[in-house]
Amino acid sequence: MARDFTSIPPAKVTRTDRVVSDDIWIKQMLHRAPVGYLATILDGQPFINSNLYVYDEAAHAIYMHTAKVGRTRDNVQREERVCFTVTSMGRLLPAPEALEFSVEYAGVVVFGTASIIESEAETTHALQILLDKYAPHLTAGEDYRPPIQDELKRTTVYKIAIESWSGKKKEAAEDFPGAYHYSDVVAG
């Protein structure tokens, strides 16, 4: 019989053997993952948008930006509830039976509300911490000119206020027989 998931909180991981409840691990995962995926919904139609992002621990929020006009902005203006996720993939884990093949992975899922930042100060802060994450070896004012007011008008910055989150991971023994990395067997 199918399980009724409507009574289970969205951030509850149902595979209890994979749960990571350590907030420090979750924060570290949000800091290090290079790309995040924002899920929005409009009139019953789900959308997902991959984007660069930054986790601001002090604000307990995620910042990201997109074009000034677009579907993500329109969706957020109409429905502030969102879901956001980051993942990483480890080794593939072969098995004698196809159904038993598996993969090492780690991921965080965030539930919260998204808002469009209107404040110039908060927009500038969000864009600067994005730059700090992706170009930590460069310095504003030395290696590049920080964004100016006219440039701020050409982007939409979002703040996802985190309401709940969950972490999940699977790791196998280092000597797992036949384990391999996807990139080692697929020519790109």
Query: Which amino acid belongs to residue 152?
Result: L
Tokens of 172: 């196998």
Under 8 Å between Cβ of 46 and 71: no
Other Cβ atoms within 10 Å of 108 Cβ, number = 25
pTM of the model: 0.90
> Across 15-170, where does the E strand assignment appear?
19-20, 36-42, 45-51, 53-56, 61-67, 81-93, 102-116, 155-170
Q: Answer whether residue 187 shows pLDDT above 80.
A: no
Rounded CA separation 138/64 (Å): 20
Domains and CATH numbers, the chain: 15-172 (2.30.110.10)
Span 80-89, pLDDT tens digits = 999 999 999 9
Span 77-130, pLDDT tens digits = 999 999 999 999 999 999 999 999 999 999 999 999 999 999 999 999 999 999
Dihedral angle sign, alpha carbons of residues 179, 185, 186, 188: positive
Q: What is the pLDDT of residue 14?
A: 79
Q: What is the pLDDT of residue 158?
A: 98
In this prediction, residue 186 has a pLDDT band, given cuts at 50, 70 and 90, of confident
Q: What is the pLDDT of residue 1?
A: 63
Choose the weakest-confidence range: 14-18, 115-119, 176-180: 14-18
